[in-house]
Amino acid sequence: MRHLPLAIACLALNATFALAEIAVPMVYLEQEIEHPPTLSNLDTRPSDLGQAGAMLALKDNLTTGTFMGHKYQMETIKVPIGGDLVGAAEEALATSSFVILNAPAADVLRIADLDSAQPALLFNTSSSDMALRDDACRSNVLHTLPSDLMRSDALMQFARAKRWDKLALIAGTHNTDIAFAEALKKSAAKFGMSMSAEKTWAFDADMRRNAAQEVPLFTQELGKHDLLLIADEIGDFGRYIAYNTWLPRPVAGSEGLVPVAWAPVVEQWGAAQLQSRFNDLAQRSMRPQDYAAWAAVRTIGEAVTRTGSNDPEVLRAYILSENFELAGFKGRPLSYRDWNGQLRQPIPLVTDRALAAQAPMEGYLHQRNELDTLGLDAPESSCTAFD
Amino acid sequence: MQRLIPFVTALAFASPAISAEIWVTNEKDDTVSVIDIATLEVIRTIETGERPRGITFSKDFSKVYICASDSDTVQVMDPVTGNILHELPSGEDPEQFVLHPNDRHLYIANEDDAVTTVVDTETRSVIAQINVGIEPEGMAVSPDGKIAITTSETTNMAHWIDTETRELFANTLVDSRPRHAEFTAGGSELWVSSEIGGTISVFDTASQAEKGKISFKVKGVHPDRVQPVGFEFTDDEKTAFVALGPSNHVAAVNAETLEVEDYILVGRRVWHMAFSPDKSLLFTTNGVSGDVTVIDVAKREAIKSIKVGRFPWGAALRP
């Protein structure tokens, strides 16, 4: 009997701990951008691209939060083209230390460099820009979308495993095309393959009507190659290349076999569940940017759950530590590179209909983590903000 | 008397000898493969609903319950004829379940719905739905029937359900993607495997406090690919056999010291398992290679692979 008060006290303490309420306000901040015109009208761009992924992760976090006494909230701010992004960011940072960014690289930097952003934790979920993970990195920015180089490394590991060593490249003229083409070339060199020919796609003609006449001649000049790479990140001409090439060759890169953060055809490792939850929520399939935003919000949730804290400094330290792991439905725990804040993750190589392979390919070993064979490794990165 | 009925019926089907069987659900074939333990061969293949996963027998083995996940139902099959007797309302996307010691209540994890459904198999009605974490999967019930457990894969918790009030009374965090839960036979411990975390957490049932954690290390396999899923205890409870997913190994764990004693190479992406009646043989389902590995428990080595359907998932003993 004498022990009873103590027991009750313990119980009460337990209950208090379990219900220690923590508020975790987050902001999803999007800078709307102009999208260049493309030849085909077949692709639609969902207005909630990225945002829907963040919403799904918010729901996931909220469910966990009900058992932990953690209250997650997310406000969405969309800044129109020409709007006051910095003003919106200041407003967001006044209410929240956790900002999910859907904005071009230059805008990510503008926000990251604000005084009010210094104690905050920002997530880049939309830019694959290399510099953001390299010399332009910021200690308050984590990246959940894979970099261009992670994607190109994934594809080159696959090509190397197939012994498709002779490569040809057709690149578009848009900035993102050029960046991806650069990454492809860098990866080819990294894995010991040669780029035997390169051409730039600068046609004015409407390929919807004459791809069958133009593409064979255009690709004839590429000479001998095993694999034809396409850098057409805006989805302009790439779709007209396959089956119209001079030589019968597989097509990969932005078209054909595509290295991605996520695709509707990813179904292993419990991914089918994530896909169906996303479809129920958004009434469309999940895309790479949705996945990146989902991973960002889930990262916050996972870190809050494990640390019981909403202090951005505590969470950042935990997220960058070896203890952090995110179950990301890609068969391996996901974690962050503590030299540049990039989320390390497997890269699915997909066609429209199936997953062909998932990088890292077997045999690509690494002293720390096989996932670090994709993208900028610690010795290659000139990021010093994380030191 | 009850046991006699299937016996007589089986005779009518002219099977030469009544031997124990392992029933394996084939997730991507919509079938069950029945393995004869005496011959170690598949003797029957029975059609089920879509995407069969969890499988368990009633206490008298007169009925077999099968989670037909994509048909959103639990099928009740006559194991002798292979006919579906009826279906139970299960909630959406039932993945795993556990039969309460009262032989009557099924506790079902509804993977897409973040709900645990309790179904009365006699009245064939849902008697409770309990909100749990995202993607509930692992299910267990304590030997005394007082506690049911659901693990949620995305919330990363074991949810403790009071089977009388059918309410949660505790939620305990585990490592990433908990897949399977089992009480020890005495009920004093609860074990939960975490696939992505790569660990098994051992809880003291009385206090729900974590009392230990098991880690695995398979030679030549990256730690990320060592992913514990299903596990079973030997009768003396001195050893737990743990399926380690894509590492293609089963670990033999000393249940007292929580140390791994052996790793046994099996088929690809080993998933769940079931023992023979005397627990001398262990049958593991290997999802990717589409086969079942038979392990000699005493020698701790694989003695045979048996081809079954595509993506074998669950396994259950029919003695």
Which pLDDT tens digit goes with each residue over B164-214? 999 999 999 999 999 999 999 899 999 999 999 999 999 999 999 999 999
The nearest CA of chain B is from the CA of A64 a distance in Å of: 5
User: A94: part of which helix (H) or strand (E)?
Assistant: helix A85-95
Looking at A238, A259, A280, the residue that finishes a domain is A259
Angle at B102 between CA B100 and CA B106, to 5 degrees: 35
Is some CB atom of chain B closer than 8 A to the CB atom of A325? yes
CA A297, distance to chain mean position in Å, is 13
The answer to whether the CB atoms of B157 and A63 lie below 8 A apart is no
pLDDT at B271 over 60: yes
Pairing of strands B167-173, B157-162: antiparallel
The reply to whether A41 and A119 lie within a common domain is: yes
Residue B23: φ, ψ to 5°: -100, 125
CB B134 to CB A64 under 8 A? Answer: yes
A210-214, A373-377, B109-113, B287-291: segment of lowest average pLDDT: A210-214
CA distance A96 to chain B (A): 23
Residue B129: inside a domain: yes
Tell me: do A153 and A228 sit in the same domain. yes
CA A273 – CA B110 distance, rounded (Å)? 11
Determine, yes or no, domain membership for B296: no
Structure tokens at B242: 């743990």
The two three-digit tokens of residue A198, written as one number: 């390169």
Angle made by CA atoms A269, B49, B92, in degrees to the nearest 5? 65
pLDDT for B53 equals 95
A121 part of a folded domain:
yes
SS3 string, chain B, reads CCCHHHHHHHHHCCCCCCCCEEEEEECCCCEEEEEECCCCEEEEEEECCCCEEEEEECCCCCCEEEEEHHHCEEEEECCCCCCEEEEEECCCCEEEEEECCCCCEEEEEECCCCEEEEEECCCCEEEEEEECCCCEEEEEECCCCCEEEEEECCCCEEEEEECCCCEEEEEEECCCCEEEEEECCCCCEEEEEECCCCEEEEEECCCCEEEEEEECCCCCCCHHHCCCCCEEECCCCCEEEEECECCCEEEEEECCCCCEEEEEECCCCEEEEEECCCCCEEEEEECCCCEEEEEECCCCEEEEEEECCCCEEEEEEEC
The whole-chain average pLDDT of chain B stands at: 93
Q: What is the pLDDT of residues B22-35, one digit of tens each?
A: 999 999 999 999 99
Residue whose C-alpha is closest to residue B59's, from B121, B146, B123 = B121
Range of the domain at A300: 20-146+263-345
What are B125-169's pLDDT values in tens digits? 999 999 999 999 999 999 999 999 999 999 999 999 999 999 999
| Pairing mode, strands A166-171 and A326-327 | unpaired
In a domain, A387, yes or no: no
Tell me, what CATH number does A326's domain have? 3.40.50.2300
- In chain B, % of residues over pLDDT 90: 88
Question: What's the whole-number mean pLDDT along residues B266-288?
Answer: 96
Nearest to A290 by CA among A149, A104, A144: A144
CA atoms within 13 A on the CB side of B313: 23
pLDDT for the residue numbered B138: 95
Instruction: Say which CATH number the domain at B225 has.
Output: 2.130.10.10
Whole-structure pTM value: 0.88
Contact between A302 and A294 (Cβ < 8 Å): no
| A181, A132: one domain | no
CA A345 to chain B, closest CA, distance in angstroms equals: 12
Please give the structure tokens belonging to residue A224. Answer: 């001998």
A228: in domain = yes
Inside any domain, residue B6: no
Apex CA A335: angle with CA A150 and CA B242, to 5°?
A: 115
- Sign for the CA dihedral angle at A277, A322, B244, A288 comes to positive
Given this model, what pLDDT does residue B167 score?
95
Considering the domain architecture, whether residues A26 and A137 belong to the same structural domain is answered as yes
The pLDDT of residue A19 is 54
Residue A140 belongs to a domain: yes
CA-based nearest distance A65→chain B, Å: 9
Cβ atoms of A234 and A38 within 8 Å: the answer is yes
Closest chain A residue to B196, measured at CA = A333
Chain B within 8 Å of A284 (Cβ-Cβ)?
A: no
> Regarding beta strands A70-79 and A22-31, do their DSSP bridges make them parallel or antiparallel, or are they unpaired?
parallel
Q: Please check whether residues A157 and A142 belong to one and the same domain.
A: no
Q: Which member of A67, A273, A331 has the closest CB to residue B133?
A: A67
List of chain A residues whose C-beta atoms are within 8 Å of the C-beta of residue B177: 270, 327
pLDDT for the residue numbered B18? 66
- Number of separate domains in chain B: 1
Q: Does residue A364 lie within any of the structural domains?
A: no
The answer to the question of residue A71 being in a domain is yes
The verdict on A40 and A114 lying in the same domain is yes
The span from the CA of A372 to the CA of A146, in Å, is: 12
Residue A275 contacts by C-beta under 8 Å, 6 or more apart in sequence?
A264, A266, A267, A285, A286
Does the pLDDT of residue B2 top 70, yes or no?
no
Q: How confident is chain A (387 residues) per 10-residue block, as mean pLDDT?
A: 40 44 96 86 88 97 94 97 97 97 97 97 97 97 98 98 96 95 96 92 76 89 96 92 95 98 94 94 97 98 96 98 95 95 98 96 89 95 94
Tell me, yes or no, whether A140 and A115 share the same domain: yes
Question: Does A43 lie in the same domain as A132?
Answer: yes
A329 and A214 share a domain? Answer: no
Determine the structural domain holding residue B49 and report its residue range: 21-279+306-318
Residue A277 has its nearest CB partner, among B112, B131, B225, at B112
Tell me: do A328 and A287 sit in the same domain: yes
User: A215 near A159, Cβ under 8 Å?
Assistant: no
What pLDDT digit, counting tens, does each position of B39-52 carry? Answer: 999 999 999 999 99
In a domain, A374, yes or no: no
Closest alpha carbon to B236 in B194, B190, B298: B298
Model ipTM value: 0.81
Pairing of strands A121-124, A141-143: parallel
Using a 10 angstrom Cβ sphere, with 0-12 exposed, 13-18 middle and 19 or more buried, the burial of residue B218 is middle
Whole-angstrom distance, CA of residue B142 vs CA of residue A47: 49
DSSP code string of A159-221: HHHHT--EEEEEE-SSHHHHHHHHHHHHHHHHTT-EEEEEEE----S-HHHHHHHHHHHHHHT
Contact state of B224 with A270 under an 8 Å Cβ cutoff: no
Strands lying side by side in the sheet with A98-102: A70-79, A22-31, A98-102, A121-124, A141-143
pLDDT at B111: 86
A123 versus B91: the higher-pLDDT residue is A123
CA-nearest residue to A333 within chain B is B196
Looking at the structure of chain A, the number of domains it has is 2
Report the gap between the CA of A63 and the closest CA in chain B (Å). Answer: 6
Nearest residue to B74 (alpha-carbon basis) of B56, B53, B59, B89:
B89
Put simply, whether A331 touches B (Cβ < 8 Å) is yes
Closest in B111, B157, B171 to A273, CB measured: B111
Mean pLDDT of B55-70: 96
CB < 8 Å to A326, chain B: 176
pLDDT of residue A1: 37
Determine the 3-state secondary structure of A240 from DSSP. Answer: helix
Answer yes or no: do A255 and A310 share one domain: no
pLDDT more than 70, % of chain B? 94
DSSP state of A30: E
In the three-class reduction of DSSP (H, G, I as helix; E, B as strand; rest coil), residue A10 is classed as helix
pLDDT band, residue B222 (cuts 50/70/90)? confident
Residue A365 lies in a domain: no
d(CA B29, CA B42): 15
Q: CA A136 to CA A157: how far, in whole Å? A: 27
**Same domain, yes or no, for A184 and A320?**
no
